[in-house]
Homo-oligomer: A and B are copies of this chain.
Amino acid sequence: MNAEIIAIGSELLTPYRLDTNSLYLTDELNKLGIRVIHKAVVGDSRNEMRSSFRHALDRADLIIASGGLGPTDDDLTRETVADLLGRKLSLNEEILRGIQERFRRFARTMPEINARQAMVPQGAVVLPNPRGTAPGLWIEPEGHIVILLPGPPAELKGLFESEVRARLARHGSSERLYTRDLRITGLPESEVEQRVRPLYEMYPDTETTILASPTGIQLHPRVWSRDAAQAEKLLEEIVSRMALALGEHLYSTKGESLEEVVARELLENRATIAVAESCTGGMLAERLTNIPGSSTYFLGGVVCYSNDLKTSLVNVPPDLIESKGAVSSEVALALADGIRKFTGATLGIGVTGIAGPGGGTPEKPVGLVHIGISDERGPRERAFRFPGDRERIRTQATQTALDTVRRHFLFPAHGRA
């Protein structure tokens, strides 16, 4: 079975809004063994919508549309689809009572226009929507399934889970999509691609999507199969070959974020951490603390933007800043060691660099970042040169600082004699 997703709403044709429902729907459909072959976005226009549905019926077995089920004149999905399929609309008293009841609960009278939401095309199955006034509709024109869902993501997801998934499972094939989510950091996309490309040919039945972002690369190998055990075995094999090819740059095969991996390592090693940041301006602390329960391992951090604060908060000697500069190996080491000693944490991290756009010099260009890490054996440090704008440089510096912590646990003797 294959599917087309149609997102309806003129606001989705402005520069401000993307249809994000289709990512959720695609994921759910794939798990049911249904491939998405086409997506369309169409405005609140009867003609455009009619033409989109007509073409979709030519292409796909299943059409899922979102939006245009509201009470206003702009909401034309119900009428347009009923008309295209040659089905009369009639008032469903039960839905009407439900909507009236909903308004009463919020101590309001139902505006007359909301009665439109109780109109149902002949033969359609009504999918009750406890989260809003517009119910979903399930229609089966010859050889097809057409599902109309409300646009607000919470209502769409709620309806999919409570009403659509189980119904579709009865129609779907026994073929399912199986997938993995590998996360890589410290390698450019082209290098990841080159390392795993030979596997594409070894496993022609697997499709792999590669996704690049400032925090790193994601690899999503996918297998369509009727046999769950076989698919899982195949994916295990591919993932272990990918792991070999990617080495220590692979930090998760389960779609975890780097801060989740670092959190796990800190917890398992009963270690605590504290950070002293300059150019990342709090982003490192923010990422370490966006994990629930982070207070177990994260003691605290300082954002010492001014040189005075580097001294007063973390005891970086003023003459060191004077002689080596605030952006230097020596200051990164002093920040890492200083915050560790001040807080009593197992690990201290120090980050200093030039995020730009101003402040660069030929010797210390924009993008230069020193990252220090300190444990009870003392501090060590590495310098990096990150490309891109301020936001990108700060993101990469933060990611690399987190990766420094991960590697500390991966190679406990790393950088030691």
Contacts and interface: CB of A to CB of B under 8 A. Distances in A.
B37 A43 contact: yes
Interface string A92-103: 000000000000
Contact of A18 (B23, B43, B207): B23
Contact of A209 (B14, B288, B301): B14
A308 B298 CA distance: 12
Contacts of A218: 16
Contacts of A12: 39
A295 B327 CA distance: 14
Contacts of A27: 15
Contacts of A20: 18
B282 A283 contact: yes
A303 interface: yes
A51 B57 CA distance: 12
Interface string A291-304: 01111001111111
Nearest to A302: B302
A334 to B, nearest CB: 16
A315 interface: no
A110 interface: no
A335 to B, nearest CB: 12
A222 B59 CA distance: 35
Specify which of A15, A26, A51, A390 lies most central, judged by the most chain B CB atoms within 10 Å of its CB.
Answer: A15
Contacts of A293: 358
A15 B38 contact: no
B300 A302 contact: yes
B303 A309 contact: no
A289 B300 contact: no
A10 B298 CA distance: 42
Contacts of A71: none
Nearest to A305: B300
Contacts of A277: 282
A280 B289 CA distance: 8
Q: How large is the interface on A (under 10, 10 to 19, 20 to 34, 35 or more residues)?
A: 35 or more
A211 B16 CA distance: 8
Interface string A45-69: 1001001100100110000000000
A285 interface: yes
A48 B59 contact: yes
Given A285-B282, A286-B283, A220 B306 contact: no
A38 B30 contact: no
A290 B40 contact: no
B281 A288 contact: yes
A55 B48 contact: no
Contacts of A30: 14-15
Contacts of A15: 23-24, 26-27, 30
A281 B292 contact: no
A289 B306 contact: no
B306 A303 contact: no
A41 interface: yes
Interface in A328-362: 342-343, 356-358
Contacts of A209: 11, 14, 16-17
A42 interface: yes
Quick one: which of A37, A58, A275, A293 has the most chain B CB within 10 A?
A37
Contact of A292 (B282, B288, B356): B356
A17 B292 contact: no
29 contacts: A10-B207, A11-B209, A12-B39, A13-B38, A14-B26, A14-B220, A15-B24, A15-B30, A17-B209, A18-B19, A18-B20, A37-B42, A37-B43, A37-B48, A38-B41, A38-B43, A281-B285, A281-B294, A282-B288, A282-B303, A285-B286, A286-B286, A292-B356, A292-B357, A300-B304, A300-B306, A301-B302, A306-B343, A313-B313
Given A282-B303, A295-B306, 5 more contacts: A39-B40, A40-B41, A51-B58, A290-B391, A312-B342
